[in-house]
Amino acid sequence: MQTTSQDTAAQASRRRTFAVIAHPDAGKSTLTEALALHAHVITEAGAVHGKAGRKATVSDWMEMEKDRGISIASSALQFEYAPAGHEGEPYVINLVDTPGHSDFSEDTYRVLTAVDAAVMLIDGAKGLEPQTLKLFRVCKARGLPIVTVINKWDRPGKAPLELMDEIVAEIGLQPTPLFWPVGEAGDFKGLVRLDDEGTIDEYIHFIRTAGGSTIAPEEHFTPEQAASEEPEAFAVAAEETELLAMDGAVHDQELFLECTTSPVIFASAMLNFGVHQILDTLCTLAPAPGPRTADEAVVAAATTAIDEERAVTGEFSGVVFKVQAGMDKNHRDSLAFMRIVSGEFDRGMQVTHAQSGRSFSTKYALTVFGRTRSTVETAYPGDIVGLVNAGSLAPGDTIYAGRKVQYPPMPQFAPEHFRTLRAESLGKYKQFRKALEQLAAEGVVQVLRNDARGDANPVMAAVGPMQFEVMQARMANEYNVQTVTDPVPYSVARRTDAETVPALSKQRGVEVFTRSDGELIALFGDKWRLAFIEKEHPEFTLEPLVADN
- Which residues, in sequence order, are CB contacts of 317 under 8 Å at separation 6+? 292, 310, 340, 341, 342, 343, 398, 399, 400, 401, 405, 407
Question: What are the angstrom distances between the C-alpha of 264 and each of 84, 102, 332?
Answer: 20, 24, 42
Q: Using CA atoms, how far apart are residues 460 and 222, in angstroms rounded to an integer?
A: 60
Half-sphere exposure of 138 (CA within 13 A, CB side): 27
98 annotated to bind ligand: yes
According to DSSP, the β-strands at 261-266 and 146-151 are parallel
Contact of 298 with 406, CB cutoff 8 Å:
yes
In a 10 Å sphere around its CB, with 0-12 CB exposed, 13-18 middle and 19+ buried, how is residue 297 labelled?
Answer: exposed
Alpha-carbon gap, residue 34 to 154, rounded angstroms: 15
489 is in an annotated binding site: no
Does 116 count as an annotated binding residue? no
E strand or H helix at 163, and its extent? helix 160-171
Nearest to 483 by CA among 533, 526, 534, 436: 436
Q: Burial code of 159-190, b = ≥16 C-beta within 10 A, e = fewer?
A: ebeebbeebeeebebbbbbbbbbbbbbeebbb
**CA–CA separation, 496 and 531 (whole Å):** 15
Q: Which own/partner contact pairs does 505-511 have at CB distance under 8 Å and 24+ positions apart?
A: 507/533, 507/537, 511/450, 511/452
> What torsion do the CA atoms of 354, 355, 356, 362 make, to the nearest 10 degrees?
-50
Count of residues making up the chain: 549
* Rounded Cα gap, residues 538 and 285, in angstroms: 51
**Dihedral sign of CA atoms 275, 277, 278, 282 in order:** positive
| Strand pairing class (15-22; 117-123) | parallel
For residue 442, how far is the Cα from the chain centroid?
Answer: 15
Contacts of 40 (CB under 8 A, 6+ apart): none
Considering only CA atoms, which of 509, 478, 517 is closest in space to residue 492?
509
What letter does residue 371 receive in the DSSP assignment? T
Residue at 145: amino acid letter: P
Q: Rounded to 10 degrees, what is the CA torsion of 536, 542, 547, 549? A: 50
Contacts of 262 (CB under 8 A, 6+ apart): 120, 145, 146, 147, 148, 167, 173, 174, 175, 176, 256
For the annotated binding site for GTP, the residues are 97-101
Q: Which residues are annotated as a binding site?
A: 97-101
